[in-house]
Structure 1
């Protein structure tokens, strides 16, 4: 297993599962990184299916979900998801990718038995992908970092709810089989589970974005008089934000896990390059400017790992971990950006080519600094908490 990761305090089952995942990603998945079915909007569906079938045969499909539906602890999940992230394709092959991983967690926590059988089971089995419909187009003035601005509506009509609105940046909507839709009723936000595709949900376009690792890309979607049976609402009317909180911190943290794995790999590639490449009479690693960058990478990697496990431990107490996950998202995403940037810089011209995945990791991490809340929004939220805590202490 990766020599830079610490397994102290980790359960034996997590170490064993993480080891299998790492071997699978390194030996089986990485060779697919040059597959021609990789495009600007993510891997084509045929590649997704092939990778998941390989994961199924290797016994590492949905490795964080145990037989009977039990979930690894968040600390254990971190050990596994970090290893799945060693390739941008690893989370797809292991079925630990966003948004599916977060959606599976949510349905597993709050879904009814019928919902779990109908919607969750095929997702855990890797038979269906999913999408989470919350964010709305900026030009409409809809919900983005501030979900309270939600414009999409839902109105009850007999034993159905009728949903209307537009959504944006909906990861994986193109090709998804399950959707979780948030909309606003008179009682507040509501959350619904729906089968996809549905003629009432129209993909306007798949956006061209800086990242390219997620199947289906990121779509702008129109929802036009979508009728959803009342028993497909999660919880009661007005409880949508409550359930969003259940999903929020674990899904935010799992992003940190997967992209930490990607940056471990980028640093490995940059380190190997610096120890082989000669310039001005000696190896790049022996030039202080390069050697110091790799030393700083090692420091940032360890700090990111420790923050990730710290937040996981908080979530394992049963707490929402909203503050802790905000702190972790800021610290880890910013550290990973530095690591990815230095890895590119250490490799010079080679670092900006697609000859290795270092260039892709740089693009993906740049997007991650915005996804699941930009750094500035998390800092603003933390500052508000600092003020509240101070006021209470007076």
Structure 2
């Protein structure tokens, strides 16, 4: 199967192309999203905050903006600037771990890989050192990295008219027999803000108000909770999750010396306390995809986490009635989406939707303009260029606009 996927993947740049009906795909998605009985979920990756632009300024006669929160590559550069000595002759711990990653052929420009490496080394260092770094140095570096991440990711949505709000409003727009599930690998609190500002009730696995505690039983028995409560499941942890006294997982805005951040960007876990929320969230993703006729919409995720990919693809293989629509930003043949293409080319019930092309039913093809004139859609979602069509659902802003239209509430109703 892998060889077939490699051969089919080469067609992205070759010219051997099928045609995919844009109108049919959008109509099916609209119909599915309008139902209240199907299990419907969303998976939001690091690309979603990039759709919200801030700090508008003029540079060289052009208007330049920054993303509300950087993606993994951008965040890694910020951390490097904060923690690197900038002097190869006098490296800091950060410089050392980056150099080790380069020597080992790892992703030295990916903070998720680097933080995983830091924690693996710390777990085996003991009273000695690993690759020239002591356990104390690695532990300190872990804390410094998480501190910078916290500073950079602690952002608020600038208005009440964002894609996050559109998703939140859609989630509470009709009375549901099955709860909406929102999975995310992001540490930020943007989804929480949008749900609360939109008066959309949700459950995130924690119980309490002052210092909420993680309730594994409630997460596993979520069927006892009201279906109108959206389930918010943060696979890689969150800014306001803390590990207290090395045993208790709590959610609080306070940060004391007795607490450590519970953010973990890899499947490598180091003790039971850190492992419990992570595995519980992954179990919920698996359980969701194994539910009959479940539909998962992915946005802002490039399939860079192979452990999550494995959960998605294996679950889809075991449940042919489930379907995943993975919407990616930009052209489908981008090198960033190699793993995504491999998953879609080997998984018939995983549709990968790029701006220019799609892989549907393991078949790669261009979008066609046939029937697109009959679709009543905002121009931000579907752009026609002669006989070509650009489908922009991989832009979280466009996906949010689609959801807002289905909710029946106008955009101006919540304008800041």
Q: Which TM bucket (shorter chain)?
A: under 0.3
Question: Scaled by the length of structure 1, what TM-score is found?
Answer: 0.28
Relative contact order: is structure 1 or structure 2 higher (C-alpha 8 Å, sep ≥ 6)? 2
User: Whose helix proportion is higher, 1 or 2?
Assistant: 1
User: Whose strand proportion is higher, 1 or 2?
Assistant: 2
